[in-house]
Every structure is written in structure tokens, then in C-alpha cells.
Amino acid sequence: MPGNAGLWYHVTGRSIVEGISTLETNRITIMTTIGSTVTARVAAPRAALFDWFISIPLPRILLKYGPIPSVASTTGQTGPWDVVGNSRIVHLADGHTARESVTGYQRSSYFAYRVSDFDNFLGRLAADAVGRWWFADGPNGSTDITWTYTFNARNRLAAIALLPIVKIFWRGYMRQAVATLSELAVAEERAFRAPTEDSMKPARRSTQ
């Protein structure tokens, strides 16, 4: 099974790490991103797993980890979750919310989304965050999953504050979510495989 790819960060602008300054409208613009990537191999076929993943309720996989609360529900979804531009409100167990929007979709292989309007402490540190999921065929009918989550920090000080949060807690939150996703997928694989495989077959012409 592939291991967890770990923590990474990139800074553009003057910083204690590295980077270059960019001039925009006569002022220095600083962009900072801090993210983490986790990977997993799931014993389920890619097409069926992907369709199941797109429709799974977030409270089933995004559970509490340390100070990071679980997802309690989602509301106000504007349309199908396989259509770019649709959005919904994510409600956390501690009462806070964020907006999630679909930004990329390629059936069976790729899904991307943006999280914004954090109304908890993350809103003071990050302007938004971007999540990306890749699904690839693994050996013996399995699927290799890669999930990257990137925070766009508001400034250098916010990036410094975010770094230990992502390193200590967010990466663990992601690992736990992927492990939970894998366990559920294996347990439910027979149930979700048949409908998806049927939907991929060409429609038969009626003989009536």
C-alpha cells in the first residue's frame, strides 16, 4: 500500500523560507500556500469507487481528530455534486460552517473543490482552501487514491501559524478520513459495484 506523502508548503514573496517578490499595482503581493497530501490503496474498482465517493455524505468520513471537529451535515446544495460550480454549506459539529464549491470533475479519475467562508479560527488564517482527489487503477482491481488539501494563507504570519496546525492535526485528520473511506468502501463494495457497472454498460434496445 502506498504510504502517506506527507506535508509540503510553498511560499511566494519575501519570507523566512524562500521565494521572490512580485510587484502588482505598485505594491508587493505575497501568496502563501500550505498543504498536505495523503495516499491510499482501496480494494475496490476505480469507476465504482469514484461514483460512490462522490455521493457519500461527509459525516461518514470526516470525523473528529484532535481539535478539528467532525462534519455534522451539509445544507443548501445547489445541484448535483458532479457539476462544476455547484456549492453547499458544510456544518461542523462545533457549530461553525464553511462553503464548499466544486471546481473540477472528471468521472472516475479526478475531483476538486474549494472551501471558503470559514467562520471559525481558520477564517482568520486562510482566505480559502483547495482540495483535489485523484483516482488511478491499482493492481488486482484496486484503486490508488491521492488527496491533496491546500490552504491559501492570508499573510506570512498566518502561514507560520498554519504550518504546525497542518503538520500536527490536519494531516492526521486527512489520514483518518482516508482510512475511514477505505474501510467503508471495502465493506460496501459489493453493494455499490453493481449499480455503477450497470450504468456504464450501453443501453439495450427494447424488443417490444
Domain boundaries, the chain: 6-200
pLDDT reported for residue 78: 98
Four-point Cα dihedral 64, 69, 74, 80, nearest 10: -60
pLDDT in 10s for each residue of the chain, 208 residues = 444 444 443 333 332 232 222 333 344 445 589 999 999 999 999 999 999 999 999 999 999 999 999 999 999 999 999 999 999 999 999 999 999 999 999 999 999 999 999 999 999 999 999 999 999 999 999 999 999 999 999 999 999 999 999 999 999 999 999 999 999 999 988 777 765 555 544 433 333 3
pLDDT reported for residue 161: 93
Quote the cell numbers at residue 8.
Answer: 509540503
pLDDT reported for residue 189: 80
The top-level CATH class assigned to 6-200 is alpha beta
Nearest residue to 40 via CA among 92, 76, 5, 78: 5
Report whether 124 contacts 97 (CB < 8 A).
Answer: no
Element housing 163 (H / E)? helix 156-164
pLDDT reported for residue 31: 52
Report whether 34 contacts 162 (CB < 8 A).
Answer: yes
How far apart, in whole angstroms, are the C-alpha atoms of residue 99 and residue 113? 10
pLDDT reported for residue 23: 32
pLDDT reported for residue 191: 74
pLDDT reported for residue 195: 55
